[in-house]
Amino acid sequence: MKTLGVIGGMGPQASIRFMELVINSCTKDFGVKENDEFPRIILSSLPAPDLIANRKMEEKAGNMLEQEAITLENAGADFLVMTCNTMHVLSSRITNSVSIPFISLIDTVVAQIRSDGIKRVGLLGSMTTMTSNLYLEPLRAAGIEVFTPGIDEKNDVVSCIMKVLAGVSGLKERSTLKTIIGNLQNQGAESVILGCTELPLLIDHSDVEIPVFDSLRLLANASCNEIFRGIIPPCA
């Protein structure tokens, strides 16, 4: 059984949910029941600089990611994941600093969209996520048309994310996201990527008419597949 190293803390609420999703996948998808059958997980709650709204602290954040990846490898992690979409703009700092594999949250989501045959997808996330090539480039390379909100709605999405991080989000923010997703659907989106790991804390598939891709849930599933690869096959 492989040891999972998690670069989390961006923000802490999403990291907590990721751990819950991994444990749930262990029990539901791999039939783990006994305590000594659960995997070893090393979680780092890293207080990296905020890249949600801007990238001014990118170099400092990159240095922190690099050092944390090395620390987790030295602690015994067999592979790494990172629970923040936006920070994946710096993922090369991780892959270039360690010898163990890194499972990209972005690649995991794009692979699932391709597998599901989706051709037109909406994208929500931080301002960096919605405007950079982080998702746009691999999705378009896969022949998938991407819809993002207008600038005012982009700002509303970022506001919702910040409210989650501050622990003050509620029905108002959920309603805002539902409206934005509805507008993306009207533009032609067949589904939507919740491309910030705080967003599923506000909204899920039961709240909207089109399927949602929960980036954190998909990463948790991919992590469990790697943890038990060749040891315990997934439950039928």
Q: pLDDT for 4-43, tens place per residue?
A: 999 998 888 889 999 999 999 988 888 888 877 899 999 9
CA distances (Å), 21 to each of 25, 40, 140, in order?
Answer: 6, 15, 29
Closest CA to 81 of 113, 63, 106: 106
Residues 110 and 100 in one domain: no
Q: What CATH number is attached to the domain comprising 57?
A: 3.40.50.1860
Residues of the chain by 3-state class (helix, strand, coil), percent to 5: 55, 15, 35
Angle 122-123-128 (CA atoms, 0-180°, nearest 5)?
155
pLDDT band with cut points at 50, 70 and 90 for residue 113: very high
> How many domains would you assign to the chain?
2
Asked if residue 12 and residue 61 are part of one domain, the reply reads: yes
Whether residue 100 sits in one domain with residue 112? no
Q: Is the domain of 117 the same as that of 52?
A: no
Residue 164's domain spans which residues?
106-214
Are residues 25 and 118 located together in one domain of the fold? no
Q: Using 50, 70 and 90 to split pLDDT, how confident is the model at 92? A: very high
Residue 112 belongs to some domain of the structure:
yes
Percent pLDDT > 70 in the chain is: 96
Name the DSSP class of 102. B
pTM over 0.85: yes
For residues 145 and 139, what is the distance between their CA atoms, to the nearest angstrom?
A: 7
Q: Are residues 100 and 51 in the same domain?
A: yes
- Asked if residue 110 and residue 99 are part of one domain, the reply reads no
